[in-house]
Amino acid sequence: MSEYETDDEKVEAIKKWWKENGMSVVAGVALGLGVVFGWRTWTDYRNGVSGQASAAFEQLLDSATADAAQSTAQQAQLLSQGYASTAYPALGELVAAKVLYETGDAAAAIAALQQVVDKAPDPALQRLAALRLARIQLAEGQLDAAAATLAAYDKSSAFAGDFAAVRGDLAAARGDTAAARAAYEKAIAAGTGLPQLIRLKLDNLPAAG
Amino acid sequence: MLQQIHDRAKGWFAWLIIIMISIPFALWGIQSYIGGGSEPVAGLVNGHEISERELDHRVQTERIQLREQMGAAYDPAQFDDKRLRQEALDAMIREALVVDAANRMGLRVADPVLRGQILAEPAFQQDGHFDNAAYEQALKYQGLSPSQFEAQLRQRLVGSQLVRAVAGSELVTKTEREQYQRLTGQRRELSWLRVPIAGFLGDAPIDDQAIAAYYEANPKRFQVPEQVKLDYLVLDVAGLAAKTSVSDEDIRRAYESDQARFGRPERRSVRHILITVPPEADAAANQAALAEIEGVRKRIEGGEAFDAVAKAVSKDPGSASQGGSLGEIEKGIWDPAFEQSAFSLPVGQISEPVRSKFGYHLIQVQSITPAAVKPLGEVREQLRGELAKQKAESLFYDQGERLANLVYESSDSLVPAAQELGMEIQHSDWISRAGGEGVLRQPKVTAAAFSDEVLNEHRNSDLIEPEKEVLQSVVLRVVDHREASTRPLDEVRPEIVTALRKEQAQRAAAAAASADADKLRGGADWAAVAGDAKVEEAGLVGRNDPKVPAAVLSVAFTLPVPATGSASVGTATLEDGDAAVVRVTKIEDGEVKPAAKPGTPDPAVYMLGQMLGRHSYDAVLNDMESRAKVERKAAPAR
């Protein structure tokens, strides 16, 4: 049996319901639409910003030659200021570090890589930057700094071989043949970019004992 | 309660529910209910699906590419479907990882860049401009919709940004470069002594049990593969050409009908003076140029030397410095007015001003080499060869067709075909699938010889054309066949004895070498160890010195670095089985060259950077993969 006997009663009930709940229904629909459009606008905005950052990064890549190291570094700086919400500043600093190092400015290259390590948008990029940082620190004779960098970021199996190779170089620089041998062997086993060169380094270590 | 729901369902409440249910249908369409989820999935990367269909498409594209790259050498069986699928899936997972990482990190290609790329793609262009029809056609060919293609392209461009950022920013530090130079250029001072196995080869009887054991342990070595003896007919153009005769009459006819080929056109040695006027110049400019060239003509007629005047006034940059000379010229490549005049002037006369599209010329012909035709005698043998080849080729196709029919009609013998066409049946020795001599080495020939039809049904093969673009055909039949077998122990016994004796001698030589090495390490000198044998003093050698056997070098360069005044000693096994004692007494590192100037990359350092960079990119992706949620579904059985 229905609660409502006649159509009039039904209409009355609907009106009454609307009076009680109408505001919340309208508010709910408006809120929903607002969220949808807000999200749209936000993604459009984000895509726009990313697109601009991307174009700026392309420009940086084009100019990234040893002759234009300063300009490359400045462009990387501008990327960091304007587009900090994207990953492009980190990529820009990676490229700038290479160019700076090649012009002989190791300190600036170290600073650039340190920035990538500090604000890397992805752990993989952080490890990559840390690895390069440690290699430059080692080449600059900052053995303790290199050791600290290695210890802090050698956390991924994907980079284990590369970190081990640098650790081997570090141990060899400190004269610790046994540790160098172990590290090089680990590097070859775990896989690195230049296994043959590491094999040569290994074969060139002084006799054990 | 249920009663209540039932009651209300008849009223406004029911409508409300229906409306709410219909909203998703209205917004997302029905396909998301019917199509979604039913497609088999090959892999998952952080929730992003790689469908079986996409994977199939990728595998197919890869196969097509392989076939295009390898051409005739492509053998589908060589590329196992399962492996190809595995590799394609790995590649797609990598791509999905890059997309995922790019989304996460906010990497994006701006729309104008994407549009620029599409507009610049030659495949989408017609007459040098972007053409929408060509674009859609090209996509259709790849089975993509424009939005799919644009998404793919965007993905590729973002991927390339990541590659350039990660791999392109790789660096080689100063110490790394120097160490590389020191190590690769390293030289070691070494001497070595050969310990030949010949000195240890005995003739003591070998134990039967050892022989049997060797025979059991090396069955492959004594196996004889399945073999056949063949009868075959070879039809080839070279053979036919040798048999064809070409009459002198034919040669003469060919010579006469093709005079143009043997002729040499008239050549004239010409010089000129040019006063330039562009073709579109107005009357005044034309007049001025004409007046100028008339003046020049007067000067020459007045007795000045042509070449001196040409040098002074001619505006033709190529010839002015040569005194106007163009050298010997032929008709057909010059301005028509110029040519007309140059090839009608008598020798020595200066032409009237001639108007070409460059301006006004004065032309003088210095000498004429008349047109000539090579005499028949000079080209007779060339023509004879050509005609014989033509005849042989048409004979080849003609006889090839007859041969194919004949061997098909009497498929149990080659004799009728050989008699009918005057060919000689050739007989092969035993050959295996590895092939025999000459034409029997061709894979198509051996494949036919071991085919079911020829081997088991004892029929003639089809007409085989062993090599592409070589006019040669082969028909064969199998006349004898023997299965793969293992040679009996008695037959191979001497071989085994020799092998075992050699093994023993090798062991003894190695032991002797190792004892010698110990003596050296203990402080003995070469003379005490080597006795009468000659010690090779190689001196300081590089890693790849051709004077020293590779096995010796490889041991020498892996021995520990000796302390000053002492030596490192090791043993090696040479390629011919002899043993060797190797002693390294000094190590000299390669020369460290100063850093290349910026902008002039050192090739070796550049290569190191490239290799490191590629590896870095791999490591970055591996690292991302290790943190991502990646699933590979087992490929369905097919």
The string of pLDDT tens digits covering residues B48-101 is: 888 888 888 888 888 888 888 776 666 666 667 788 888 888 888 888 888 888
User: Residue B629 falls within a domain, yes or no?
Assistant: no
Contact A192 B164 (CB under 8 A): no
Mean pLDDT of B415-433: 89
Residue B547: its H or E element? none
Task: Tell me: do A122 and A196 sit in the same domain.
Answer: no
Most confident of A119-128, A162-171, B25-34, B243-252: A162-171
Q: What are phi and psi of B580, to 5 degrees?
A: -145, 145
pLDDT for residue A165 is more than 80: yes
Contact A138 B161 (CB under 8 A): no
User: Residue A146 falls within a domain, yes or no?
Assistant: no
Crossing angle for the helix pair A69-82 and A7-63, to the nearest 10 degrees: 170
Q: Which of B312, B339, B370 is the last residue of a domain?
A: B370
Q: How many domains does chain A have?
A: 2
Residue B569: its H or E element? strand B568-573
Output the pLDDT for position B527.
Answer: 83
Indicate the residue of A13, A138, A158 with minimum beta-carbon distance to B623. A158
Mean pLDDT of B287-312: 88
Rg over CA atoms, chain B: 42
Mean pLDDT of B175-179: 88
Tokens (6 digits) for B341? 């005049």
pLDDT for residue B288 is more than 70: yes
Give percent of chain B with pLDDT exceeding 90.
11
pLDDT for residue B411 is more than 60: yes
Output the pLDDT for position B601.
Answer: 63
Indicate the residue of A4, A51, A159 with minimum beta-carbon distance to B623. A159
Output the pLDDT for position B530.
Answer: 81
pLDDT for residue A104 is more than 70: yes
Tell me the CB-side half-sphere exposure of residue A173, using CA atoms within 13 A: 20
Contact A207 B598 (CB under 8 A): no
| Residue B357's CATH number | 3.10.50.40
Task: Tell me: do B70 and B111 sit in the same domain.
Answer: yes
Output the pLDDT for position B75.
Answer: 66
pLDDT for residue A179 is more than 80: yes
Nearest CA in chain B to A207: B560
Is there a contact between A198 and A187 (Cβ–Cβ < 8 Å)?
A: yes
Task: Tell me: do B64 and B162 sit in the same domain.
Answer: yes
H-state helical runs in B143-199: 146-166, 174-184
Task: Tell me: do B408 and B479 sit in the same domain.
Answer: yes
* Residues contacting B526, CB < 8 A, separation 6+: B191, B193, B520, B535, B583
Q: Scanning the structure block, which residue is given the tokens 């790329």?
A: B117
Tell whether B565 lies on the interface with A, counting CB pairs under 8 A. no
Task: Tell me: do A128 and A178 sit in the same domain.
Answer: no
What ranges make up the beta strands (E) of B337-441?
Answer: 354-355, 359-369, 372-373, 426-427
Task: Tell me: do A102 and A183 sit in the same domain.
Answer: no
Contact B174 A139 (CB under 8 A): yes
Provide the domain limits for residue B301.
266-370
Output the pLDDT for position B146.
Answer: 84
Task: Tell me: do A95 and A185 sit in the same domain.
Answer: no
User: Residue B557 falls within a domain, yes or no?
Assistant: yes
Task: Tell me: do A136 and A179 sit in the same domain.
Answer: no
User: Residue B322 falls within a domain, yes or no?
Assistant: yes
Output the pLDDT for position B637.
Answer: 44
Task: Tell me: do A119 and A181 sit in the same domain.
Answer: no
Residues of A in contact with B624 (CB under 8 A): 122, 124
User: Residue A150 falls within a domain, yes or no?
Assistant: no
Task: Tell me: do B47 and B138 sit in the same domain.
Answer: yes
Q: What are phi and psi of B139, to 5 degrees?
A: -70, -40
Q: Give dist(CA B107, CA B275) in Å, integer.
A: 62
* pLDDT averaged over every residue in chain B: 84
User: Residue B276 falls within a domain, yes or no?
Assistant: yes
Please report which confidence band the pLDDT of residue B638 belongs to, taking 50, 70 and 90 as the band edges: very low
Task: Tell me: do B138 and B236 sit in the same domain.
Answer: no
Q: Which of B342, B370, B398 is the last residue of a domain?
A: B370
Task: Tell me: do B432 and B454 sit in the same domain.
Answer: yes
User: Residue A86 falls within a domain, yes or no?
Assistant: yes
Task: Tell me: do A182 and A85 sit in the same domain.
Answer: no
Give percent of chain A with pLDDT exceeding 70.
95
User: Residue A148 falls within a domain, yes or no?
Assistant: no
Provide the domain limits for residue A186.
159-209
Please report which confidence band the pLDDT of residue B192 belongs to, taking 50, 70 and 90 as the band edges: very high
pLDDT for residue B30 is more than 60: no
User: Residue B260 falls within a domain, yes or no?
Assistant: no
Task: Tell me: do A39 and A119 sit in the same domain.
Answer: yes
- pLDDT tens-digit profile of B375-402? 777 788 888 888 888 888 888 888 889 9
User: Residue A45 falls within a domain, yes or no?
Assistant: yes
pLDDT for residue B22 is more than 80: no
Please report which confidence band the pLDDT of residue A169 belongs to, taking 50, 70 and 90 as the band edges: very high
Output the pLDDT for position B471.
Answer: 84
How many C-beta neighbours within 10 Å does residue B623 have? 22
Task: Tell me: do A170 and A113 sit in the same domain.
Answer: no
Output the pLDDT for position B627.
Answer: 87
Residue with the larger pLDDT of the pair A135 and B250? A135
Is there a contact between B440 and B464 (Cβ–Cβ < 8 Å)?
A: no
Task: Tell me: do B353 and B397 sit in the same domain.
Answer: no
pLDDT for residue B574 is more than 80: yes
Tokens (6 digits) for A14? 């609907």
Task: Tell me: do B191 and B205 sit in the same domain.
Answer: yes
Task: Tell me: do A166 and A118 sit in the same domain.
Answer: no
User: Residue A151 falls within a domain, yes or no?
Assistant: no
User: Residue A149 falls within a domain, yes or no?
Assistant: no
User: Residue B354 falls within a domain, yes or no?
Assistant: yes
Q: How far is CA A22 from the centre of its chain?
A: 49
pLDDT for residue A1 is more than 60: no
Mean pLDDT of B267-292: 88
- pLDDT tens-digit profile of B425-447? 999 999 888 888 888 888 888 88
Please report which confidence band the pLDDT of residue A208 belongs to, taking 50, 70 and 90 as the band edges: low
Task: Tell me: do B150 and B191 sit in the same domain.
Answer: no
From the candidates A63, A143, A174, A204, which should be mutated to test the interface with B, based on the most B CB atoms within 10 A? A204
User: Residue B600 falls within a domain, yes or no?
Assistant: no
| Residue B411's CATH number | 3.10.50
Tell whether B235 lies on the interface with A, counting CB pairs under 8 A. no
Q: Which of A106, A141, A176 is the last residue of a domain?
A: A141
Output the pLDDT for position A160.
Answer: 92
Output the pLDDT for position A170.
Answer: 94
Task: Tell me: do B559 and B500 sit in the same domain.
Answer: yes
Tell whether A4 lies on the interface with B, counting CB pairs under 8 A. yes
Please report which confidence band the pLDDT of residue B35 belongs to, taking 50, 70 and 90 as the band edges: very low
Contact B170 A10 (CB under 8 A): no
Tell whether B186 lies on the interface with A, counting CB pairs under 8 A. yes
pLDDT for residue B34 is more than 60: no
Contact A102 B171 (CB under 8 A): yes
From the candidates A122, A133, A142, A192, which should be mutated to test the interface with B, based on the most B CB atoms within 10 A? A122
| Residue A60's CATH number | 1.25.40
- pLDDT tens-digit profile of B350-380? 888 999 888 899 999 998 888 887 777 778 8
Q: For B109-113, B161-165, B194-198, B458-462, which range has the lowest pLDDT when averaged over its residues? A: B109-113
Task: Tell me: do B472 and B511 sit in the same domain.
Answer: no
Q: Scanning the structure block, which residue is given the tokens 């729901």?
A: B5
User: Residue A88 falls within a domain, yes or no?
Assistant: yes
How many CB pairs below 8 A link A and B? 167
Output the pLDDT for position A87.
Answer: 85
Task: Tell me: do A126 and A175 sit in the same domain.
Answer: no
User: Residue B49 falls within a domain, yes or no?
Assistant: yes
pLDDT for residue B568 is more than 60: yes
Please report which confidence band the pLDDT of residue B28 belongs to, taking 50, 70 and 90 as the band edges: low
Please report which confidence band the pLDDT of residue B576 belongs to, taking 50, 70 and 90 as the band edges: confident
Tell whether A113 lies on the interface with B, counting CB pairs under 8 A. no
* pLDDT averaged over every residue in chain A: 87
Task: Tell me: do A121 and A29 sit in the same domain.
Answer: yes
Q: How many domains does chain B have?
A: 5
pLDDT for residue B598 is more than 60: no
Tokens (6 digits) for A85? 């919400």
